[in-house]
Structure 1
Amino acid sequence: MSLKSIIQDMKGEFGSISRKGFEGRFSYGLRSRSHRVVEDCSVIVVDNPRQSCWANMPPELLRDVLIRVEESECLWPPRKNVVSCAGVCRSWREIMKEIVRNLEVSGQLTFPISLKQPGPRNTLIQCFIKRNRGTQTYHLYLNLNQASNDDGKFLLAARRCRRAAYTDYIISLNADDVSKGSSNYIGKLRSNFLGTKFTIYDAQPPNTGAKVTKSRSTRLVGMRQVSPRVPAGNYSVAHISYELNVVGSRGPRRMQCLMDAIPTSSIEPDGVAPTQTEFLPGNLDSFPSISFFRSKSTRTDSFRSGPLSNSKDEMLILKNKAPRWHEQLQCWCLNFNGRVTVASVKNFQLVASVENGGGGQEQENVILQFGKIGKDVFTMDYQYPISAFQAFAICLSSFDTKIACE
């Protein structure tokens, strides 16, 4: 029997079982309320091995089959078969979790947790963002066709929520369920009133040095803090600042990103950036260190012992690459290697800034680039050491209205 026939047979049986009501959720990534399509990384799982003959395959044969499936599919949409195999039953899922490597090594966005992992080294993952002005929403897609931005794999969604003193961008794994009370909520971006300073919050700690930030939606009940709606806490992972530039008197925008969760050493050849391997359960009761909510002092001190809490010099700093003035075109220019086609104040490239003798020295390697290619379509390319979630949040800050920077 060929590998293709095995996959088709497995899918047929898998579909018939799911229609009988044996529905579950894929535990490798974030638990989702919707089972829309396999490409959205939401799959139906049958954990009862008696319901599927494929669950009773010998482990050695099963591992060999799954390895061949994983190696034969390097790009989406065929990559959906890897997710389908992981959703057959518990034994298939555990083996596939061991076979599929993290994003840094494989360079492939397979499961939802890949969106929280650093991108590959020396290779930009090409994505694009579509903006809907009417609904104030932004959708991030993975490029599947280099010649067109109409064909893409959905990755993340964000919704703009304007408040009196600040603006929130809620980021979710589900385009139809973008709210802080959703199980698909993975983080947010918050701006100040002027739109010059932003903070990126992760719904779960990216490393042992993360600091939890009290949310407006949480409350204290007796001596214990509970949050029935927010899946997890708010952990500050990055700070973005735009230099004041009234009426554009200082030229193009100047921005700087302080990555709280990524050390400067990560950009070195043997450097390591924090890598999340799974989503935490969306319940505060399941946190092993729930005691850090007891008091104000213990809440803040519990996360100060991490590797990035000693000095700001240890945190990675990203700065926008300075554009050059083109005399013939009479405009500021950056080399996006054909990925950006429309001039816009929002376009930028971020590079690492390394302290050198008291002064910051910019590296040439572009870590994140963002630019306009249509009325409401923008490219977003990123690589190690930042993740798709962090890159998306940084790009969202460019959309926000900046009273003192235009």
Structure 2
Amino acid sequence: MYSPDPGENLEEFVLKPAPQGVTMKCRITRDKKGVDRGIFPTYFLHLERDDGKKTFLLAGRKRKRSTTSNYLLSTDPTDLTRNGEAFIGKLRSNLLGTHFTLFDNGTNPKKRPVASRQELVAIAYETNVLGFKGPRKMTVVIPGMNLDHERVEIKPRGDHDGLIEKWKRKNMENLLELHNKTPVWNDETQSYVLNFHGRVTQASVKNFQIVHDNDVDYIVMQFGRVAEDVFTMDFNYPLCALQAFGIALSSFDGKLACE
């Protein structure tokens, strides 16, 4: 079986879509140790290799002095700073914590339009009508692929032409809309369940699978808990590791809409 390896260039690897036909199996560990880690834990993403070893890919941490949820993502587990060399992207929510956007490490177009940032993924959570018990609904919007299987660049010039805004206006040209698969109620366990084929062992409202409406059997991404602070995250083409990690981080965020 083909097992992709980041090799020398980690930044290139985490931005590259998963090879077609290969499921990238990863795990996320949440580190809550330290004084403020309980509120601002660090998340580490590792690629699980066929030989049982794990390869570090990304780290993410919530920023402290930010009005909305704002995560910094880095290819260095020890350097989670905005100005660090390893800074690769950031995930930012709206005030309500219902919409999230993942940017690459480009600059804000208002500050420097030349090297302006790309939007790599947007996640919209629907407030749950059933209160806290039922499964939550999420919509994931990602840039589409061109004929060479490269990601279409989405570089908004302002606040009104980003992924979330395009999706709200149903302007989906060059974009893909994905949803979480609806879990089925299981009488035995008295809970909503999805089949994770052994990759997820603990029930949690945060477990999810992302699919396209046209083919609900093709799991673009799945995420779920295996221990208190350990989660599996598997993704397929056309997602890259950075996009999948951003989607997973948004689901950790503890706002009302997503609990």
TM-score per shorter chain, which class?
0.7 to 0.9
TM-score by length of 1: 0.54
Distance 2:182 2:136 in 1: 9
CA contact (8 A) 1:246 1:405 kept: no
Task: Return the offset for 1:241.
Answer: 0.3
1:322 aligns with 2:182: yes
Q: Is 1:137 aligned to 2:12, yes or no? A: no
Does residue 237 of structure 1 match 2:145?
no
Query: Shift of the alpha carbon at 1:311?
Result: 3.8
* 3-state secondary structure, aligned to 2:205: coil
Q: In the alignment, is residue 196 of structure 1 matched against residue 98 of structure 2? A: yes
In structure 2, do the counterparts of structure 1 residues 185 and 367 end up closer, same or farther at CA, with 3 Å as the change threshold? Answer: same
Distance verdict in 2 for CA 1:141–1:243, change over 3 Å = same
Whether the aligned pair in 2 keeps the contact of 1:190 and 1:198 (CA below 8 Å) is yes
Does the CA contact (< 8 Å) of 1:128 and 1:142 recur in 2?
A: yes
Greater per-residue helix proportion? 1
Instruction: Give, in whole Å, the separation in 2 of the partners of 1:191 and 1:179.
Output: 19
Structure 1 segment 96-115 matched on structure 2, within 5 A: 107-110=4-7, 111-112=9-10, 113-115=12-14
Shift of 1:252: 0.3
**Is 1:125 paired with 2:7?**
no
Structure 1, residues 65-87: CA drift from partner, whole Å, max 9, x if none? xxxxxxxxx65xxxxxxxxxxxx
Instruction: Give the share of equivalent positions with the same residue, in percent.
Output: 38
Matching residue within 119, 130, 139 for 1:256: 139
Mapped to 2, the partners of 1:255 and 1:314 lie a distance apart of 20
Check whether the contact 1:324–1:333 (CA below 8 A) recurs between aligned residues: yes
* Aligned residue in 1 for 2:87: 185
Please tell me whether residue 392 in structure 1 is matched to residue 252 in structure 2.
no
Question: What runs of 5+ residues in structure 1 fail to find an aligned partner?
Answer: 1-73, 76-106, 205-211, 219-224, 277-298, 354-360
The one of the two structures with greater contact order (alpha-carbon pairs below 8 A, sep at least 6) is 2
Does the CA-based 8 Å contact 1:317-1:352 persist in structure 2?
yes
Aligned partner of 1:166 among 64, 68, 78: 68
Matched to 2:121, the amino acid is A
Return the offset for 1:120. Answer: 1.5
Hey, what's the Cα distance between the residues in 2 that align with 1:274 and 1:185?
20
Structure 2 residues not aligned, in runs of 5+: none
Q: Counterparts of 1:123 and 1:238 in 2: how far apart (Å)?
A: 21
CA separation of 1:248 and 1:273: change in aligned 2, threshold 3 A: farther
- Distance (whole Å) between structure 2 residues aligned to residue 346 and residue 142 of structure 1: 20
Asked if the contact 1:145/1:152 (under 8 Å) is kept, the reply is no
2:149 aligned partner: 272
| Residues 242 and 273 of structure 1: CA distance in aligned 2, closer, same or farther (over 3 Å) | same
Shift of 1:164: 5.2
Residue pair 1:248, 1:405 contacting (<8 A) in 2 also: no
1:377: Cα distance to partner?
0.4
Aligned to 2:233: 380
| CA positional deviation for 1:194 | 2.4
Distance 2:152 2:173 in 1: 21
Q: Which residue of 1 aligns with 2:223?
A: 370
Q: Is the CA contact 1:161–1:169 (under 8 Å) kept in the aligned structure 2? A: yes
Distance in 1 between the 2:83 and 2:14 partners? 20
Q: CA deviation at 1:363?
A: 3.0
Instruction: State how far apart, in whole Å, the 1-side matches of 2:29 and 2:245 are.
Output: 12
| 2: CA distance, partners of 1:347 / 1:197 | 18
Q: Describe the shift of the 1:241–1:275 C-alpha distance in structure 2 as closer, same or farther (beyond 3 A).
A: closer
Instruction: Describe the SS at the equivalent of 1:258.
Output: strand
Query: What code does the residue aligned with 2:42 have?
Result: T
Larger radius of gyration: 1
- In structure 2, the partner of 1:35 is none
Give the match's secondary structure for 1:199. Answer: strand
Amino acid at match of 1:376: D
